[in-house]
Amino acid sequence: DKLLAQDKRVHDLACHRERQRLLGRRVMEELVDTWGEKIGHKMHKNDILNSMEANIKEMAFAVSGDVVNAAEVDMDWDECPPVAFGHKMKAYFKVDGVNLTGSTYGNCPVPVLNARYKWEIENQLDPVLWRFRTLDFRRTVALNKMCKIIQADPSDVHFIMNTRIGISTILMSQAWHVGDKIFLLSCEFGCTVAAAKYCAAQHGLEIVYADVLFPCTDDQLLRCVEQKL
């Protein structure tokens, strides 16, 4: 009996030490993962590192495009020097009224239209070369240039067709739970409403509308929203 009791104590002690070892290992792994995530997050949000990454990728894809003889088009910056945001920018638009709202998708400035026309010419000269050689290289170069302007990580930035696709993508990528709510204004764009209804049907969500009557002041709109929140 004494030997059995002693064996049991030894066994319990060994089990206790093993549990402590596993617990310590788990704690260390969690600490490493946590600190790793924090360090990764800080590096991910570091403007200098993001700019360096964008520069490297831009140069790499530009050189790769040159190697495969991909066409290249850029805006004529001598023809359209940058100006301060405001009335001076009207010189870069061909229409008298400039729509800059999300619902009308805005108007393209003349330098962008001119560059797009040049790309259309390149496309028509050799559609196959354009589609399978030029497009991917030059689009990636343009994306990395954009990343430098907005100081973002290139892996976080993507070109999309329009705002509707962006909003739909965001709605579809959320980790929804049954009973969650999507808040919309009654004047919301139809495609956004359709995407919200699809998510609601798929995940058991509730769509809450705030009725907006125009014309209204900012304070009236704010009160209308607060009543529904």
Q: Which tops the pLDDT comparison, 11 or 89?
A: 89
139 to 159, 164, 194: CA distances (angstroms): 9, 21, 30
pLDDT tens, residue by residue, 136-190:
878 888 888 888 888 888 888 888 887 788 888 899 989 899 999 999 999 888 8
User: b/e map of 110-121 (b: 16 or more CB within 10 Å)?
Assistant: eeeeebeeebee
| One-letter identity of residue 164 | R
pLDDT tens, residue by residue, 23-72:
777 766 666 566 555 655 565 566 677 677 777 777 776 777 666 666 66
Find the length of the chain: 229
Whether the predicted pLDDT of 129 surpasses 90 = no
Delimit the domains of the chain by residue range.
47-156, 163-228
The whole-angstrom separation of Cα 145 and Cα 151 is 10
The whole-angstrom separation of Cα 19 and Cα 16 is 5
What pLDDT does residue 204 have?
A: 92
What pLDDT does residue 21 have?
A: 74
Contact between 103 and 24 (Cβ < 8 Å) = no
Q: Please report the beta strands in the chain, taking only residues with DSSP state E, as ranges in sequence order.
A: 181-185, 206-210
